Structure 1
Amino acid sequence: MRRTLHLSVLTAACSTFVVLAPLGAHTLLAQQARTAHGLRDLAAYTGQAVTAWGIPGLALAVVKDDSIVFAQGFGVRKLGDAAPVTPRTLFAIGSCTKAFTAAALAMLVDSGKLAWDDPVTQYLKGFQLYDPYVTRELTVRDLLTHRSGLMRGDALWYATPYDRDEVLRRIRYLKPSWSFRSRYGYQNIMFLAAGQLVPAVTGMSWDDFVQRRLFAPLGMSATTTSVTALARTADVATPHERVAGKVQPVAWRNLDNIGPAGAINSNVLDMAQWLRLQLGTGAYRGARLISPAGMKEMHAPQTLIPLDSITERLRPSTHFLAYGLGWSLADYRGRKLVSHGGAIDGFRALVGLVPEERLGVVVLSNGGELGRALTNALFLRVVDAYLGGAPTDWSAELFRVRNDQMARDSADEAKQEHARVAGTKPTLDLAAYAGSYQNEMYGAVTVTLEQGALVMRFGPSYTGDLSHWHFDTFKAKWRDPEEGWDLVAFTLNAEGKIDHLRWPGLGDFARLAQAADSARTPP
């Protein structure tokens, strides 16, 4: 849940060019990269950035005028292992998946199986949100545009045992954070609902549909929708995060239950074919997969996003930010940018397009949160190279932004520590806090007394040791070090008994009847 970032500088940075054919392709692609306008220094620039940012590995590909003009790997798949990242190395692409889900629905719109402005309840029987009005009015378009009025609710799917159907059933308990269609608010579960429209109208799972209708026609033979398929290849990146002050490998996260929002795994060569489809306005090698109207709809602004202070300062030529259907949109130096980032445990990704220039870039990294802004920096570096003029050192600019944010995070943590009230103790004996607590949306939390200390459990992945913070607030230090820690508070009723566990970000978990708490110490 809570993760604290710190700066790390690594020294390993080897690079590997893609081999496209048995003989000579290595040399040919390198020559293309050297002679392409503005890309002469891209390999050196990227390699230096990977080292400076402390990223274990990264792969980058550039498509221009329907051809791959650059594809290269940098660094290693796993720290401590010499195996290099190549253009065929698989990474999780996270939320870059969302554009594939939008494309799948565009295909269904093209075939007349649904329409963008149809009500969701026309196809998903039993679908329900907290507000009956929103349930009734929510459209297919709304699912893809982050304007449902709901905050994220990601703890409903992240590391929980709930499958796709159960996640969608429980979303009815998530209260709106603002009014329907009034503002942009990122929401993964709406994209899950969008993906579930596919089986509702075709009888085919979302996974099978994108495999047959997108991956196969595009020749994306290495791309998968589940981590369970990764065992078929050895060229797979290991995710990394900064944990306890050190960059180290972490486990791959299974995202099957939120698949349409973020579960695709791919490499830059496969993703280059996806770029070609997008830049080809829905056509690939002479075959039309998506209508021009469908492509135009996906790349058109649907929800406005306020300009943030960093964008205003670093990109004064950017006048608007918006969200399309599965894509983020902006203007930059007189051109329209169509892009999307991806972030999941240990991985960061970015897919970016400049349609007017027939230019596309994909960046995949296994450096986790340390590399979030580097993917953007490399995209903008390539865009600047093709647009001409003196290039901005985006790696240096965004490196400073990242470090400033990390400093603010550390300051916030220090401020929270300073606000801790010393000399307090829990109101009750520790045994009184043990029990079962229930939230209608997120499910059960159990607190047990084990060897004189409290242990909190939530789902199969979260087990935390509780230590007293102040008053009736405890610090849950998760045994999976990647997850960091959280503060949870217990509240008492008028009788002086524990009635709720309060978990910021998730809400209140009601204490179940004492009769249900028959065993406070597990066998």
Structure 2
Amino acid sequence: MLLVVLASSQYAQAQEAPSKDFDDYINKALKDWDVPGLAIAIVRNDQVVFARGYGIRKLGDSTAVDEKTMFAIGSSSKAFTSASIAMLMDEGKLKWDDPVSKYLPGFQLFDPYVSREISVRDLLCHRSGLERGDFLWYGTPYSRDEIVRRVRFLKPTWSFRSTFGYQNIMYLTAGQIVAGVSGKSWDDFIRDRIFKPLGMTSSNTSITDLKSSNDVATPHAKIDGKVEIIPWRNIDNIAAAGSINSNVVDMAQWVRLQLGEGAYKNQRLISSGGLKEMHTSQTVIRMEPPWSIFYSDAHFLNYGLGWFLHDHRGRKVVEHGGNIDGMSALVAMIPEEKLGLVTLTNMNGTPLPGALASRVYDLYLGVQPKDYSAELFKIYNAFLEQGKQAQKKIEESRVKGTSPTLALDKYAGTYKDEMYGDAKVTIENGKLALTTPGFAGDLEHWNYDTFRVTWRARSLGKALVTFTLNAQGKVDEMKLPDLE
């Protein structure tokens, strides 16, 4: 009788895992999307029913990705920050709608009204009215405190609380609140209050901690149409918005906590009310590009507190992706089905994790699965083609036969910005070079007093830089687009 029970249990568990067809589907998708490697874990009814790696860790090296391979999870880290706030709320140390200034007395934004009114909740649901301003932290030496101080110079793009506007620096600010209220750094709080109770022993909050691991994926990006290896980037200064590194086995425990409504192995880490608030719509996201491209089947798209919310075949989906240099990730769940997954890849900006999530949903919902990878691949490539056509128009609009108004050495100098800091233009080997607090690049004349910078970090691509002259015919300003 015991043997029969055990056999039935094993059969039931095996039935929870996808068939070999799923392996074939992923391997084909990797090839179609030019993704070197990927790992995926699936959680169903509080059990990790599937965890596997596909492809390779590094281009040119046959070492395979497995379920323990470490990747950057990027902005999937944001939910850890909102969970930390929920934990402190459970302890009565703060409230979602408390003003930020209550915990960070020196906090200031460009608009004094917003400085006074912005709440902890506002930090977590992308409705500050601010554009991204990522050049402030990305690649720069500025500390977390200094970034939060400098954001006061970022002019609003939209009215406060009127529009969804993705904002990493507001998440950093929430992380600084966690540090101030708890008395320990954001990193230590995440480690002690989330990683340790969940047994996420491989996970960390800085690439400096990856040195102790011998199973680490290498970042890749497509540059000039070719997949290339790129360096890991240290983003400790924006940590609360995206610096966690993990593997799918560890991250599956995080999914179990979410599906367990804040409890894990009979231990409550977050109140059910706090977790429910994180999964509750806070900000509406209009269904227009680019969102409508990646959520083409959804009827709605909202943002909670650290989570995107949408629908799939009549079920509510809770998810958050992550993209940072050479890595793309997705954590996604259908709570009412007790179903969740984690997908981690070593390819920059690939939408593949979203397509695989939809495939998994269909498999477990018992419906005929669509070929989401092929559908998205077609739509995404059309989107990229639009970008190429837009770039072509920019190229065609270039006025040929013009020259800079001044000699090149007259453009050299230090250009100051209260928010971003000093940018320097110098002469190197008879050509102009640009150095910002984060990056360096080479300038070539475009037309008139506009130059094109080719960043030496090649995955950043190129951008147009325009110099303006004053009434005396001298350069007094350089306009450099922010990183988007």
TM bin, normalised by shorter chain, reads over 0.9
Aligned ranges 1:89-238 → 2 under 5 Å: 89-238=69-218
- CA shift in 2, pair 1:349/1:32, >3 Å: farther
Structure 1 residue 36 displacement after superposition: 2.3
Q: Which residue of 2 aligns with 1:8?
A: none
Q: Distance in 1 between matches of 2:464 and 2:10?
A: 52
Q: Distance in 2 between matches of 1:381 and 1:32?
A: 21
Q: Which residue of 1 aligns with 2:425?
A: 447
Aligned ranges 1:351-390 → 2 under 5 Å: 351-369=331-349, 371=350, 373-390=351-368
Deviations 1:428-448 (A, max 9, x none): 111111111001100011111
- CA shift in 2, pair 1:310/1:97, >3 Å: closer
Residue in structure 1 matching 2:304, options 300, 320, 324: 324
Structure 1 residue 41 displacement after superposition: 2.1
SS at match of 1:441: coil
Structure 1 residue 245 displacement after superposition: 2.9
Paired amino acid for 2:408: L
Paired amino acid for 2:354: N
Deviations 1:102-150 (A, max 9, x none): 0001000000010111110000020100000000001110010000000
Q: Distance in 2 between matches of 1:178 and 1:54?
A: 37
Structure 1 residue 30 displacement after superposition: 11
Q: Distance in 2 between matches of 1:82 and 1:218?
A: 32
- CA shift in 2, pair 1:341/1:453, >3 Å: same
Residue in structure 1 matching 2:408, options 430, 435, 438: 430
Conservation of the 8 A alpha-carbon contact between 2:468 and 2:478: yes
SS at match of 1:152: coil
Conservation of the 8 A alpha-carbon contact between 2:330 and 2:353: yes
Matched, 1:462 2:439: yes
- CA shift in 2, pair 1:172/1:310, >3 Å: closer
Conservation of the 8 A alpha-carbon contact between 2:443 and 2:453: yes
Aligned ranges 1:497-516 → 2 under 5 Å: 497-505=474-482
User: TM-score normalized by structure 1?
Assistant: 0.88
Structure 1 residue 450 displacement after superposition: 2.4
Deviations 1:195-234 (A, max 9, x none): 0011211210000001000000000000000000000011
**After TM superposition, where is structure 1 displaced by more than 4 Å over at least 4 residues in a row?**
28-34, 37-40, 309-317
Conservation of the 8 A alpha-carbon contact between 1:33 and 1:39: no
Q: Which residue of 2 aligns with 1:484?
A: 461
Structure 1 residue 84 displacement after superposition: 0.6
Deviations 1:385-426 (A, max 9, x none): 111222110010111122112212221221111000000000
Conservation of the 8 A alpha-carbon contact between 1:455 and 1:464: yes
Count of paired positions:
477
User: TM-score normalized by structure 2?
Assistant: 0.95
Q: Distance in 1 between matches of 2:21 and 2:460?
A: 38
Q: Which residue of 2 aligns with 1:393?
A: 371
Question: Unaligned 5+ residue runs, structure 2?
Answer: 1-7
Residue in structure 1 matching 2:241, options 261, 266, 279: 261
Conservation of the 8 A alpha-carbon contact between 2:17 and 2:49: no
Q: Which residue of 1 aligns with 2:3?
A: none
Structure 1 residue 171 displacement after superposition: 0.2
Question: Unaligned 5+ residue runs, structure 1?
Answer: 1-27, 508-523
Q: Which residue of 1 aligns with 2:23?
A: 43
Paired amino acid for 1:347: M
- CA shift in 2, pair 1:30/1:49, >3 Å: farther
SS at match of 2:139: coil
Q: Distance in 1 between matches of 2:282 and 2:414?
A: 44
SS at match of 2:61: coil
Structure 1 residue 244 displacement after superposition: 3.1
- CA shift in 2, pair 1:309/1:409, >3 Å: closer
Structure 1 residue 37 displacement after superposition: 6.8
Conservation of the 8 A alpha-carbon contact between 2:136 and 2:147: yes
Conservation of the 8 A alpha-carbon contact between 1:488 and 1:502: yes
Paired amino acid for 1:241: A
Q: Distance in 2 between matches of 1:388 and 1:314?
A: 23
Over the aligned positions, Cα root-mean-square deviation in angstroms equals 1.9
- CA shift in 2, pair 1:415/1:81, >3 Å: same
Paired amino acid for 1:391: P
Aligned ranges 1:238-387 → 2 under 5 Å: 238-308=218-288, 318-369=298-349, 371=350, 373-387=351-365
Q: Distance in 1 between matches of 2:199 and 2:449?
A: 57
